[in-house]
Amino acid sequence: MSVEDWRAEINALDIELLRLLNQRARLALNVGESKRDAGVHLCDHTREREVIERMCEANEGLLDDRAVVELFRAIIHESRRIQTRATAQSSEEQTVHRLDRNQVSVAFQGAPGAFSEDAAVKLLGQEIALVPRPTFESLFKATDDGSAEYVLAPIENSLAGFVQPSFDHLLDSRLFIIGEVIIPIAHCLIGCKGSTFEMIAAVESHPVALDQCRRFLAANPQIKRIAAEDTAGSVARVIAQGDLTRAAIAGRRAAEKYGGLILSEHLEDSRENFTRFLLLSPAKDFPEDADQLSLVIELPHQPGALHSALEPFARRGIDLLKIEGRPVKGRPWEYCFFLDVRGSTSDAEVIDTLNELRRSRVETRILGAYRSARVPTN
């Protein structure tokens, strides 16, 4: 046989694989619907581990166990994502309805027109009361001083990474994560009416926004960058000052709100630019359909501490989605780690893992349990 003959066979097998994978996905969707109707959690780590172990035992081909594990983890992950997507719309509608009945207020960092405002509306609907707060410090005090019932805080960006001030305030607060939302971020260069791109000598915005536009700023070294408290507030100041040589980096919503002129669009380094926001509450109002858990662990400064803390998750096949380290205040060279875990506080495997960590004297604090958000399509 020739190379073309072999390729033709591969193409035919690819089509058959795709058909079988879609057939499996349909069956998984049926399972998910049955679980939802019965009030059973979508995640079943024991079942997932059994599937992978069975496939490794059945494997008699050229693929090694590592390849089989990775392939079926990806298949299981996609099946769970399809199940989650099928129930997400109804769950979001129920959340909006439940919160709107009480006319809730939600605080966000920044001025009106900020990306955080977009995120709050996407997560909770148009009818909520939006409470802008100028700084992260004031944002995390919003529930304590009675100005808002909930807080919406950015936690990470797909280009700039972790929002460290937000995370640090979260650790110091008594708030719990009860929801999350992910929105696309498209940055514009916004100036006063009558200005042109060539006239701009300085641009201001939040440091995270500036960091997301490094290529644009590097390509225009004549433009001085100025760090500010927030994106929308920068637009408001630029428009109020009326200086044709100054501009701000923010979203289209801010330009429309303050009457700014968009001089250039999509300044972000990549169109795949998303920011993840957490909905925070002073109460442990965790949703029953939570499928993601966030926690923080503190480790002693000794060899193997991190490995020992993560090993129980791996042993039980618990999907560790994110890990981020931060120094522990007042304890030099000791670190805490923020973890996102697939599961909830009702999952037996998760409960056993957390209990094992505590028995091992690993300081563990659950920050929240919530339904994971979908990454939107641009």
Active site residues: 275, 277
- Complete DSSP assignment for 103-172: T-EEEEESSTT-HHHHHHHHHH-TTSEEEEESSHHHHTTTTTTTS-SEEEEEEEETTTEE-HHHHHHHHH
H or E stretch covering 327: strand 320-327
Cβ-proximal residues to 214 (8 Å cutoff; 6+ apart), any chain? 269
Cβ–Cβ under 8 Å, residues 200 and 247: yes
Q: Which residues pair with 35 in a beta bridge?
A: none
Q: Which of 37, 128, 129 is nearest to 90 (CA)?
A: 37
Distance of CA 304 to the CA centre of its chain: 29
C-alpha pair distances (Å), 335 with each of 156, 172, 202, 313? 19, 15, 38, 19
* Six token digits for residue 342: 């697939």
260 contacts 254 by C-beta, under 8 angstroms? yes
Measured CA to CA, the distance from residue 311 to residue 325 in angstroms comes to 17
CB 146 within 8 A of CB 337: no
